[in-house]
C-alpha cells in the first residue's frame, strides 16, 4: 500500500492564470505583451529607459486590478486543498499577479515578485502599490522621487525565498508543476531537486513541455487542477 502523502510542493506558472485573462509569456510571437523581454524585464532595460519600464508595469497593475480579471477554478482548487490537506503544503508561484491570494491561498511564495508591490532602491523596503508608479512618485521611506522600482525579479536577478523553497523541495514527497513551460531557471530545475528527495513529480499542463516528470496530466488548468487535487484528498481519506 502507498504511504499517505505528508508534504506537497506545488509550483505554478503563467498557464494557471491564462483562463483568468492574463497572457502567458511565451506566446508564439516571443514578446511579453508586445515588448521585448530585455526592454522591460532586465536591470539594464530599467537603467536604459525607466519611464518605459514604469509604464509597462503600470499597465500590468491596471490589468490585474480590472474587474474582469478574477481567480479561476484552478486557483480556487489550490486554496481549498491548502485548507483541507492535513500534511505540509507549500505553494510557489512564478506569477506576479495576486490571483492565488484572491482565491484564498495563504502559504504562498512569490518567487518572481509581485506586481502590487514596489521596492526602495536604497533601503530595499517593500511597499504595497495600487496606483501608477512614475519617476516623481515619492518613496515612502526616503521621501525622495526616483528611488522606487517594481518589486519584480528581472532576468539576471536572484529569485526570492530560495532558502525556504529549497528546504520545502528537500522534504517533499510530491511535487506538482502547473502551467509552466520550464524555460526559466531555477524554477525549471525544481522537479529535479524533488526527485533527488525521492518525491513523485507531476506536470499539469495544456501541452507537453518535454521535461522528465514521472507523471503528466494534459488539459486546461481550470479542469485538471481541481480534479487532480480532489483525487489526492479522496485517496488520503
Ligand atoms: P510560460 O509562458 O513560459 O509558459 C506557460 C505554460 O502554461 C506553457 O507551458 C503552456 O502550455 C501552459 N498553459 C497555457 N495555458 C494553459 C492552461 N489554460 N492550462 C494549463 N496550462 C496552460 O510561463 P512561465 O513558465 O510561468 O518571469 O514563465 C516563467 C517566467 O518567465 C515568468 O515567471 C516570467 C517569465 O519571464 C518573470 O516575470 C520574472
Residue-wise pLDDT for 6-35, tens only, equals 999 999 999 999 999 998 887 656 567 778
**How high is the mean pLDDT of the chain?**
93
Q: Whose Cα sits closest to atom 16 in ligand 1?
A: 15
Helix-, strand-, coil-residue percentages of the chain, each rounded to 5: 35, 20, 45
Please provide the DSSP assignment of 44-58 as one string. HHHHH-HHHHHHHHH
Measured distance between the N- and C-terminal CA atoms of the chain, rounded to whole angstroms: 14
Please provide the DSSP assignment of 10-44 as one string. EEE-GGGTGGGTPPPSS-TT--BTTB-HHHHSSHH
Per cent of the chain over pLDDT 90 is 81
pLDDT value of position 30: 59
Give the active site residues. Answer: 112
Provide the phi-psi class of 33: left if phi over 0, else alpha when psi is between -120 and 50, else beta: left
Q: Is the CB of 26 under 6 A from ligand 1?
A: yes
Q: Is the CB of 180 under 6 A from ligand 1?
A: yes
Q: Is the CB of 105 under 6 A from ligand 1?
A: no
C-alpha cell at 212: 522528465
169: confidence class by pLDDT, cuts 50, 70, 90: very high
Ligand 1 centroid–CA 177 distance in Å is 11
Q: Is the CB of 184 under 6 A from ligand 1?
A: yes
Collapsed DSSP state (helix, strand, coil) of residue 216 = strand
Q: Whose Cα sits closest to atom 26 in ligand 1?
A: 13
Q: In what order do the strands lie in the sheet with 88-93?
A: 108-110, 88-93, 7-12, 174-178, 200-205, 215-218
Which atom of ligand 1 is least distant from the CA of 155? Answer: 39
Q: Is the CB of 217 under 6 A from ligand 1?
A: no
pTM of the model: 0.96
Ligand 1 centroid–CA 123 distance in Å is 32
Residue-wise pLDDT for 76-133, tens only, equals 999 999 999 999 999 999 999 999 999 999 999 999 999 999 999 999 999 999 999 9
Amino acid at each position: 500500500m502507498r504511504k499517505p502523502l505528508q508534504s506537497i510542493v506545488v509550483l505554478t506558472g503563467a498557464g494557471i492564470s491564462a483562463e483568468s485573462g492574463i497572457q502567458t509569456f511565451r506566446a508564439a510571437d516571443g514578446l511579453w505583451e508586445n515588448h521585448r523581454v530585455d526592454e522591460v524585464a532586465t536591470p539594464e532595460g530599467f537603467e536604459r529607459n525607466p519611464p518605459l519600464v514604469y509604464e509597462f508595469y503600470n499597465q500590468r497593475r491596471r490589468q490585474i486590478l480590472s474587474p474582469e480579471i478574477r481567480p479561476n477554478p484552478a486557483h480556487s482548487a489550490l486554496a481549498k486543498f491548502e485548507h483541507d490537506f492535513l500534511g505540509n503544503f507549500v505553494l510557489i508561484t512564478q506569477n506576479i499577479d495576486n490571483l492565488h491570494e484572491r482565491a484564498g491561498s495563504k502559504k504562498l511564495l512569490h518567487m518572481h515578485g509581485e506586481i502590487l508591490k514596489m521596492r526602495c532602491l536604497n533601503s530595499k523596503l517593500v511597499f504595497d502599490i495600487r496606483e501608477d508608479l512614475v519617476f516623481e512618485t515619492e518613496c515612502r521611506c526616503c521621501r525622495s522621487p526616483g528611488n522606487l522600482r517594481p518589486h519584480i525579479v528581472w532576468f539576471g536577478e536572484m529569485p526570492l525565498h530560495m532558502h525556504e523553497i529549497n528546504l520545502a523541495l528537500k522534504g517533499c514527497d510530491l511535487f506538482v508543476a502547473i502551467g509552466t513551460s520550464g524555460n526559466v531557471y531555477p524554477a525549471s530545475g525544481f522537479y529535479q531537486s524533488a526527485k533527488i528527495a525521492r518525491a513523485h513529480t507531476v506536470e499539469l499542463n495544456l501541452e507537453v513541455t518535454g521535461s522528465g516528470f514521472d507523471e503528466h496530466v494534459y488539459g486546461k488548468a481550470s479542469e485538471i487542477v481541481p480534479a487532480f487535487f480532489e483525487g489526492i484528498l479522496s485517496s488520503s481519506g
